[in-house]
Chain A
Amino acid sequence: MALTFFRGVQTRPLLSYPSIYFALRKHNVSYCNMQNTQLETTERQEGQLKGSTREIHSKPHDKLLKDFEAVIGIETHVQLSTQTKAFCSCPYNYGAAPNTSICPVCMGLPGALPVLNSKVIEAAVKVGLALNCSLSLDSKFDRKQYFYPDLPKGYQISQFDVPIASSGSLDVDLPVEYGGGHRRFGITRVHMEEDAGKLLHTGSGNYSQVDLNRAGVPLLEIVSEPDMRTGIEAAEYAAEIQRLVRYLDVSNGNMQEGSLRCDVNISVRPTGQQEFGTKVEIKNLNSFSSVSRAIDYEISRQVDLHTQGLADQIVQETRLWEEGSQKTITMRKKEGLADYRYFPEPDLPGVTLSEEYINSIGSSLPELPETKRRRYENMGLSMQDVLFLANDITVAKFFDATIAGGADVKLAANWIMGDIAAYMKNAKVSISDIKLSSEELCELIASIKGGTISGKMGKEILFELMAKGGTVKGLIKDKDLVQIVDPVEIEKIVDKVLADNPKQLEQYRGGKTKLQGFFAGQVMKESKGKANPKLLNQILLQKLNATS
């Protein structure tokens, strides 16, 4: 969880345009040089974050791209975080010993009958509503037939012609580093289905290994309209789906564990052309930055084929993203549509939803990422702050609780995005792991604002609170940190410092006024850092300039 949080935050600056360099160079080179060029790009990209490569190389590439338009749609598989599988009571735990979570139903043994997990419908309705979809009051399950060792039954239970939800939309805010902007992407459909097992290919030997723990685990497949045009848009769409399922608490959305899987459909067409180009599917995308980079690579590859008059070499196929070489490679060529011979699943009744059920789920939905972002924006926070705070549901909850306690919005945002985020990053923990509570952050902000402690002391206390816990009041007392705001007391200290440093005082009065800083430092030191800085400077200046 902790790691995921940071990945989420960090991917933004990592999103880059590796293919740009590649595209502009490849124009004059032969095909076999491709690899070298691409490797060079990869190396560059490691060192140069943000948009620097883009600025340097953008012109020829943009010009090339201006003549073409990419059309991108995404199919996302979300693994639901239910206790049990979709159609049997087998528990599912990621990382369990292989083939231990199995029963006659998920092993496809004869005579075993599936029974739907009610949580799957609940999750589908939540996601459907959150994606502004229309829900089908009557939907059904279908069998999708294919032969593969990870599918014991020889078919996958899925939804074919009547998905539980359809015709929705998803709002995203593009990262500020990439120019920002708000987009709305269409959602074609959301349907329920079961996952297949895991197939492991052994390095040597002519066999593969199958683990069927995952077989039958519930998934939602979310299909977008082909509304995206760039890798950044697609990556942000995927990130927003992750945020959404985490806000809704229906999935952990973890891409590394495969709980969130994105398959990208992409085609390129000359700008102005009505019909779509040949569609290529990209799989094996296990981070948002790989979504973005794979798309940019694929756009370049297809644009180059177009400009070289080789458009007929773009074929309908599935390509795999290779993280190592930063390229997409052919996985299989599709010969027409696969024949899955769908038919209604005879072992399961239809799925009926009542209006009351939908309404009760609808009224229990939490505030969604988009709503939260707009609310934060209306509070006067900058877009950078808004995106950071709303990115992770646990951070957003912490922030919300802090301001609900009366803390100043901007100050709370600054503490969370500054010292707290830095601490979490360093210690590789999430905000729910640190010992600081939102109440104490609220108290800390109030103590600084009220002048009880200085900002510097506040920082000191903050780190102690995060690491060891405790209360602001308790720490102030224990550490004797209460700020000295009594002018008489400060005056006493100033007098002492002036008396202790007669030589410097003489120099100051002789015109070396820069020594004020020296005196201020000495007074602060004498007060053990507790003197109120504003009062200190006021009194010090009076005393220094007083002609004795």
Chain B
Amino acid sequence: MANRALNLLRASTTVVPITTRRSSFLSPNIWSPRTVEVKQRRSKRSYSTSSLEPPDVSRLAETARISLSPEEVEEFGPKIRQVIDWFGKLQDVDLQSVEPAIRADTEGDNIRDDIPETFPNREAIIATIPNFEDSYIKVPKVLNKE
């Protein structure tokens, strides 16, 4: 359990777009150390994470659909805090004069034509479904979306 939770928490850090494959919230020139340096010299603002909320581990676990024991909540709190603090450094970057970049620039369009293609190995996908019956995926009864 603890391992799974840790993996999940680790995975959730990839959620912050800086680390993702194709894009970044910040335009490249801002991310470059040089810019950051210049900025720090100018503002002399000390690094602080006070602007970020401390993590509510119980709630995080609930939204991620994992159960944690009180001991685990205790244990993970400081660790998550550490990760957040690390990312909190980004709060210090002065973005005043920077146009927000919605997405990172990509070379050319990555879109496709509307031409159907049936995936050849659907049986393999079906085979991995734990509970498949009468052409349907069988799941525990659910009536209300949360």
A9 within 8 A of B: no
Find the A residue at minimum CB distance from B20. A346
The answer to whether residues A140 and B139 also contact, given A116-B111, A147-B146, A331-B144 and a CB cut-off of 8 A, is no
Q: Within 8 Å CB of B118, what residues of A?
A: 90-91, 101
Contact of A115 among B14, B25, B112 (CB under 8 A): B112
The answer to whether residues A83 and B140 also contact, given A99-B135, A346-B20 and a CB cut-off of 8 A, is no
A138 within 8 A of B: yes
- Contact present for A212 and B143 (CB under 8 Å): no
- Contact present for B111 and A121 (CB under 8 Å): yes
B40 within 8 A of A: no
- Contact present for B15 and A343 (CB under 8 Å): yes
The digit string for B52-64, where 1 denotes a CB below 8 A from any CB of A, is 0000000000010
Find the A residue at minimum CB distance from B134. A209
Residues 89-127 of B contacting A (Cβ, < 8 Å) = 102-104, 106, 109-119, 122, 125-126
- Contact present for A206 and B140 (CB under 8 Å): yes
Q: Within 8 Å CB of B86, what residues of A?
A: none
B10 within 8 A of A: no
Contact of A84 among B20, B116, B143 (CB under 8 A): B116
- Contact present for A149 and B137 (CB under 8 Å): yes
B45 within 8 A of A: no
B145 within 8 A of A: yes
A101 to B125, CA, bound (A): 11
A101 to B143, CA, bound (A): 25
A331 to B142, CA, bound (A): 13
The answer to whether residues A207 and B112 also contact, given A98-B135, A102-B119, A102-B122 and a CB cut-off of 8 A, is no
A116 to B114, CA, bound (A): 9
Please report whether the interface of chain A is mostly helix, strand, loop or mixed according to DSSP.
loop
- Contact present for A199 and B23 (CB under 8 Å): no
A339 to B65, CA, bound (A): 13
A208 within 8 A of B: yes
A139 within 8 A of B: yes
Give the segment of A103-111, A238-246, A253-261 that binds chain B. Answer: A103-111
Please give the distance in Å from B62's CB to the nearest CB on chain A.
10
The answer to whether residues A199 and B142 also contact, given A211-B136, A346-B20, A346-B22 and a CB cut-off of 8 A, is yes
Q: Within 8 Å CB of B137, what residues of A?
A: 99, 149, 209-212
Contact of A82 among B25, B103, B114 (CB under 8 A): B114
A210 to B132, CA, bound (A): 9
The digit string for A147-171, where 1 denotes a CB below 8 A from any CB of B, is 1110000000000001000000000
Contact of A104 among B17, B23, B125, B135 (CB under 8 A): B125
A100 within 8 A of B: yes
A200 within 8 A of B: yes
Please give the distance in Å from B12's CB to the nearest CB on chain A.
10
Q: Within 8 Å CB of B42, what residues of A?
A: none
Q: Within 8 Å CB of A139, what residues of B?
A: 102
Q: Within 8 Å CB of A347, what residues of B?
A: 21-22
Residues 323-348 of A contacting B (Cβ, < 8 Å) = 331-332, 338-339, 341, 343-344, 346-348
B138 within 8 A of A: yes
A84 to B137, CA, bound (A): 22
- Contact present for A346 and B126 (CB under 8 Å): no
Residues 59-111 of A contacting B (Cβ, < 8 Å) = 82-84, 89-91, 97-104, 107, 109
B141 within 8 A of A: yes
The digit string for A187-208, where 1 denotes a CB below 8 A from any CB of B, is 0000000000001111001111
Q: Within 8 Å CB of B138, what residues of A?
A: 207-210
A429 to B39, CA, bound (A): 71
Residues of B bordering A, CB below 8 Å: 14-15, 17, 20-23, 25, 63, 65, 102-104, 106, 109-119, 122, 125-126, 132, 134-146
Could you show 27 A-B contacts with beta carbons less than 8 Å apart? A83-B114, A84-B114, A97-B135, A100-B122, A103-B119, A117-B114, A118-B113, A139-B102, A140-B102, A146-B145, A149-B139, A149-B142, A199-B142, A205-B141, A206-B140, A207-B138, A208-B138, A208-B141, A209-B139, A210-B136, A332-B144, A344-B17, A344-B103, A347-B21, A348-B110, A349-B23, A349-B106
Residues of A bordering B, CB below 8 Å: 82-84, 89-91, 97-104, 107, 109, 115-119, 121, 138-140, 145-149, 162, 199-202, 205-212, 331-332, 338-339, 341, 343-344, 346-350, 352
Add 20 more A-B contacts to A89-B116, A162-B102 (CB < 8 A).
A90-B117, A91-B118, A99-B126, A99-B136, A101-B118, A103-B122, A104-B119, A107-B125, A117-B111, A118-B114, A147-B65, A147-B146, A209-B134, A209-B137, A331-B144, A332-B145, A346-B20, A346-B22, A350-B102, A352-B109
